[in-house]
Amino acid sequence: MTPVELSRTVLHAVRRAVDAGELSVTVPARAVVAPPGAGGWGDYATNIALQLARPAGQPPLRVAEVIRPYLVDADGVGAVRITGPGFLNIRLRDSVAVRLVRRILAEGTRYGHGDALAGQVVRLRIPYDVRAEVLADALGRIVASQGGRAETGHGEPVTLRPVPAPEDPAPLGADAARWALLHPAPHDRPRITADHLVQRENNPLFRVRYAHARTRALGRNAADLGFSAEPGPVDDVDGSGALVGLLADHPRVLSAAATHRAPDRLARHLVSVADAVLPVLPAVLPRGAEKPSAAHRARLALAEAAGTVLAGGLFLLGIDAPEHL
């Protein structure tokens, strides 16, 4: 179930509560669903109960309690928990996550490619500026991933004019320079500093590439132990549900990056995927006298799916995804 589909499911639950006379509200046009924040539970969370509390004339917790049973009964929903002031935290059925991981491993780095711009020609007119050139280059690949074709040229009227880099990014090296120019939104001033080269957790580019390399290393380590990835149910070890939600959201992110001419959306998404997969990785391999089990094979499959998304996203940005780091 994609985030868009889950949003419709939440609205359907609200509609059922209204039809049953348990809520007296106008069903909104959309429900916001997103991976739960730090310390959250499940795959997604929605604030729909807080949104409807005032028009319903009831406390948010009461609205959440009314909606919850209708949401639990929905296809694809495994469990629903109310947290905080009235957030509905949703865990999808394992079968949905399994199908997602299987799909990513089957499609490889083309997972998330679609037809949002099928048959369209996106004409990019840019100034003679290194950042504009790098953005246009990345957009060419991102637009192509959605079925379109980008034509880049110089001259008037300029259609893509990012804030220029304050200095030449070339000394950072190709990959770090591209990241420094692509990670900020085009209207934000990029930082051209050696921070992009530091191999520490406070460097987003390092976290993304390190997470990718770790997933690949685990595959090699698992092969040495005599087992391989096999999609299956994964317990919510260290927030794996949030990781599944981010992987499911990848097609939407690619489509948005293409249609809004915003490669920074893809860059930020890759950081989120990396931050979600890193806590999962320590549980992938057996520990001590443990023997490889179905759970280990399923966790490895989830890790490899995350690595595939990271590799595909870095490729679209024109940045190398190293197998070793």
What does the DSSP assignment read for 107-135? HGGGTT---TTTT-EEEEEE-S-HHHHHH
Task: Kindly state the DSSP code that residue 196 receives in the 8-state scheme.
Answer: G
DSSP state of 58: S
CA 255-257-258 angle, 5° bins: 65
The per-residue pLDDT for 39 is 63
CATH among 3.20.20.70, 3.40.50.300, 2.40.30.10, 1.10.730.10 for 94-325: 1.10.730.10
Closest CA to 52 of 73, 32, 34: 32
Three-state DSSP at 139 gives helix
The answer to whether 214 and 279 have CB atoms below 8 angstroms apart is no
pLDDT per position as a tens digit, 172-190? 999 999 999 999 999 999 9
Give me the tens of pLDDT residue by residue for the chain, a chain 325 residues long.
677 889 999 999 999 999 999 999 999 999 999 877 766 677 789 999 999 999 999 999 999 999 999 999 998 888 899 999 999 999 877 667 888 999 999 999 999 999 999 999 999 999 999 999 999 999 999 999 999 999 999 978 999 999 999 999 999 999 999 999 999 999 999 999 999 999 999 999 999 999 999 999 999 999 999 999 988 877 666 678 889 999 999 999 999 999 999 999 999 999 999 999 999 999 999 998 888 887 898 899 999 999 999 999 999 999 999 999 8
Nearest to 11 by CA among 55, 46, 54: 46
For the chain, where do the domains classified as CATH 3.30.1360.70 start and end? Answer: 3-92
> Going by C-beta distance under 8 Å and a sequence separation of 6 or more, which residues neighbour residue 198?
206
70, 108 contact by CB (below 8 A)? no
Delimit the CATH 1.10.730.10 region(s) of the chain. 94-325
Tokens of 215: 């997933």
Locus of tokens 């993304």? 208
Centroid of chain to Cα 233: 20
Tell whether pTM > 0.75. no
What does the alpha-carbon distance between residue 307 and residue 222 come to, in Å, rounded to a whole number? 15
Q: What is the CATH number of domain 3-92?
A: 3.30.1360.70
Within the chain, residue ranges assigned H as helices are 3-19, 48-56, 60-72, 94-107, 130-145, 174-182, 204-224, 240-259, 263-277, 294-317
What is the pLDDT of the chain when averaged over all its residues? 93
Residue 168 to residue 164: CA distance in whole angstroms:
10
The Cα 94–Cα 230 span in angstroms is 14
